[in-house]
Amino acid sequence: MLDNGVHHNVLLFGNLALALLSAFTYNMSRKGIAAESNSIFMLRVYGAMISRMMLCLAGITIYAVVNRANTSKYTIFMLMFFYAVYAICENVSLQKYARQEKKA
């Protein structure tokens, strides 16, 4: 931990993990949008949302348990901010993709 109270290695790894997870869930949701069946759409979109949420929760829990004495609240809140940024970017991109699919 540095002077500003943030674990930079955890933030770097968390940001990388969120980027990879966001790419996976984006692909999953995009396949759901392109699906013919409404049930496949719901399965893919909700599956992507739940998997992203649960894996992020698991990652923060592991961080808090491993660094019990030195857990940084700032690090956890910054990871939650990264999660929100990736989720917003993914949803905006999926909305644009869905509009294009609708026109075609």
Q: What percent of the chain has pLDDT over 90?
A: 72
pLDDT given at position 5: 81
| Closest to 4 (Cα-Cα) out of 74, 82, 76, 70 | 74
Please tell me the total number of residues recorded for the chain in this structure. 104
User: What pTM, to 2 d.p., does this model score?
Assistant: 0.86
pLDDT one-digit tens code per residue, 20-51: 999 999 999 999 998 889 999 999 999 999 99
CA distances to 23, 36, 45, 55 from 41, in Å: 18, 8, 6, 21
- Model confidence at 8: pLDDT above 70: yes
Average pLDDT over residues 59-68: 92
Token pair for residue 29? Answer: 């949701």
Confirm if 86 and 22 have CB atoms less than 8 A apart: yes
| Closest to 62 (Cα-Cα) out of 20, 2, 14, 18 | 14
pLDDT given at position 102: 77
pLDDT given at position 70: 86
